Amino acid sequence: MSTFERLSAYRPYGLAALRIITALLFIEHGTMKLFAFPAEQMAGSLPPLMLFAALLELVGGLLILIGLLTRPVAFLLAGEMAVAYFMAHAPKSFFPALNQGDAAILFCFVFLYLFFSGAGAFSVDNRKAA
């Protein structure tokens, strides 16, 4: 058995690490909009679409973090990030590095991956029945 084949046994744990770190980073975007923590992202009251996005980021991020309803939530969040990219970033420039949309693209595709792969280890979705 090759080294890479042996590493396959750890796939659920690698997926869990990706899910948890992605969720923590995503939650941060919601808390910045809603609570100005760790820094203020938008001054003043949020327009309705931004408030909706902030709630998706906070609540959806928390659900992804614990691995609850991972597939449907990941699908919803991937859609949110696609909309965010095309509404807020793409009009500024064709190139993601210039329009500052690279994070939205990465979040979109990580969430799509979670939609297809599931939550991995350490998730409510995959808990063993007692």
CB 73 within 8 A of CB 60: yes
pTM: 0.92
Helix, strand, coil content of the chain in percent (nearest 5): 75, 0, 25
What pLDDT, on the 0 to 100 scale, is given for residue 2?
85
Residue 5 to residue 2: CA distance in whole angstroms: 5
More confident residue, 3 or 15: 15
Q: What pLDDT band is residue 12 in, cutting at 50, 70 and 90?
A: very high
Residue 50 to residue 97: CA distance in whole angstroms: 22
Give the tens place of pLDDT for each residue, 65-76.
999 999 999 999
Q: Work out the number of other CB atoms within 10 angstroms of the CB of residue 20.
A: 19
Burial class (CB in 10 A: 0-12, 13-18, 19+), 15: buried
